[in-house]
Structure 1
Amino acid sequence: MLFRTTFLTLALTASVIAQAQTTPPPKPAPAPSPAPATVRVVLETDQGRIVLELEKERAPVTTANFLRYVDQKRLDGIGFYRTVKVQAAFGFVQFGVQNAPKRVLPPIKHEPTTQTGVKHLSGTISTARYAPGTATGDFTIMVGDQPSLDADPSQPGDNLGYAAFGHVVEGMDVVIRVLDATPSPTAGEGVMKGQMLVPPILIRTARRLP
Structure 2
Amino acid sequence: MNRRPLVFALCLAALALPVVAQEPASPPVQAAAPALAVRVILETTAGAILVETDPRAPITSANFLRYVDEGRFDGTTFYRGMVLSPAAGLIQGGPSGASDRVLPPIAHEPTSETGLGHVDGALSMARFDPGTATGDFFIIVGDLSSLDAGKGAPGDPGFAVFGRVIEGMNVVRQILAAPKSSTEGEGFMRGQMLDPRIGIVSARRVSP
Q: TM-score, normalised by structure 1?
A: 0.80
Q: 193-202 or 170-179, which moves further after superposition?
A: 193-202
What is the aligned partner in structure 2 of residue 145 from structure 1?
143
What is the aligned partner in structure 2 of residue 102 from structure 1?
100
What is the aligned partner in structure 2 of residue 16 from structure 1?
none
1:180 counterpart = 2:177:
yes
What is the aligned partner in structure 2 of residue 207 from structure 1?
204
Deviation per residue, 1:42-72 (Å, 9 max, x gap): 00011111000111x2000000000011000
What is the aligned partner in structure 2 of residue 53 from structure 1?
52
- What RMSD, in angstroms, separates the aligned Cα atoms of the two structures? 1.5
Deviation per residue, 1:17-56 (Å, 9 max, x gap): xxxxxxxxxxxxxxxxxx963110000011111000111x
Runs of 4+ in 1 over 6 A off after TM superposition: none
Tell me the secondary structure at the aligned position of residue 175 of structure 1: helix
Tell me the secondary structure at the aligned position of residue 53 of structure 1: strand
Tell me the secondary structure at the aligned position of residue 133 of structure 1: coil
1:196 counterpart = 2:193:
yes
Distance 1:154 1:93, change over 3 A: closer
- What is the correspondence of 1:113-132 to structure 2 with a 5 Å cutoff? 113-132=111-130
- Distance in 1 separating the partners of 2:153 and 2:102: 31
Tell me the secondary structure at the aligned position of residue 184 of structure 1: coil
Deviation at 1:86, TM superposition (A): 1.6
What is the aligned partner in structure 2 of residue 85 from structure 1?
83
What is the aligned partner in structure 2 of residue 17 from structure 1?
none
CA contact (8 A) 1:126 1:163 kept: yes
Q: Runs of 5+ in structure 2 lacking a partner?
A: 1-33
Deviation at 1:167, TM superposition (A): 0.4
Tell me the secondary structure at the aligned position of residue 145 of structure 1: coil
Q: TM-score, normalised by structure 2?
A: 0.80
Deviation per residue, 1:176-196 (Å, 9 max, x gap): 000101110001122211110
CA contact (8 A) 1:44 1:206 kept: yes
Distance 1:71 1:119, change over 3 A: same
Tell me the secondary structure at the aligned position of residue 38 of structure 2: strand
Tell me the secondary structure at the aligned position of residue 208 of structure 1: strand
- Distance in 2 separating the partners of 1:59 and 1:66: 11
Distance 1:135 1:36, change over 3 A: closer
Deviation at 1:80, TM superposition (A): 0.6
Q: What one-letter code is carried by the residue in structure 2 that aligns with 1:194?
A: G
- Distance in 2 separating the partners of 1:138 and 1:54: 15
What is the aligned partner in structure 1 of residue 15 from structure 2?
none
Distance 1:117 1:77, change over 3 A: same
Q: 43-52 or 190-199, which moves further after superposition?
A: 190-199
CA contact (8 A) 1:89 1:176 kept: no
Deviation at 1:74, TM superposition (A): 0.5
CA contact (8 A) 1:77 1:204 kept: yes
